[in-house]
Amino acid sequence: MKYLLFCSVILLCIGCSSNASKIEGKWKLVEIDYSAYFKDAPAQVKELLEDRMKEEFERLKDKTFFTFSSNQVLTLEVPNYAGKQTTTEGKWRMNASEDSVFFELSEPENFKIVVLDGESLELSTDDLPKRTVRMSRVN
């Protein structure tokens, strides 16, 4: 009986952990999916931008990091065109239902949380360009 009670308490604690606490930590950019943007874009725009966006992502992939601190500070580490890591700080916050996260950097952005678990973070936005961003936890 004690074992059953112990397991119930553990499951309750796991189930009650907030998305705000789950997102805290350092995340590495692993993919940006622009398919939603190109689905609605005119053919000329797609032709002009699709390859450029892929090239830009390859420059950023596995070298871009988002650190979400418990005090709502967001640190973004991105390689510049010379390959040197640059750091930008801003703020992050979640809405009341904790299903969206807002970035307050040079330009504010909001993302719907699609996946947030111990190892994966997937965010999507309808802001232009529409995209889905996938990250993996670093620590």
**Burial group, residue 61, by CB count within 10 angstroms (0-12, 13-18, 19+):** middle
Query: Which pTM was predicted?
Result: 0.82
Q: What pLDDT sits at residue 50? A: 87
Q: What pLDDT sits at residue 17? A: 54
2-50 per-position pLDDT tens digit: 333 333 333 333 344 577 889 999 999 999 999 998 888 888 888 889 8
Q: Helix or strand or coil: residue 46? A: helix
67-78 per-position pLDDT tens digit: 999 999 999 999
Domain ranges of the chain: 2-137
Q: What pLDDT sits at residue 9? A: 33
For every residue of 33-72, DSSP letters joined together read: E-HHHHHHS-HHHHHHHHHHHHHHHHHHTTT-EEEE-TTS
The answer to whether the CB of 133 falls within 8 A of the CB of 32 is: yes
Q: Helix or strand or coil: residue 128? A: coil
What's the CATH number of domain 2-137, 2.40.128.280, 3.40.50.1980, 1.10.150.120, 1.10.3720.10? 2.40.128.280
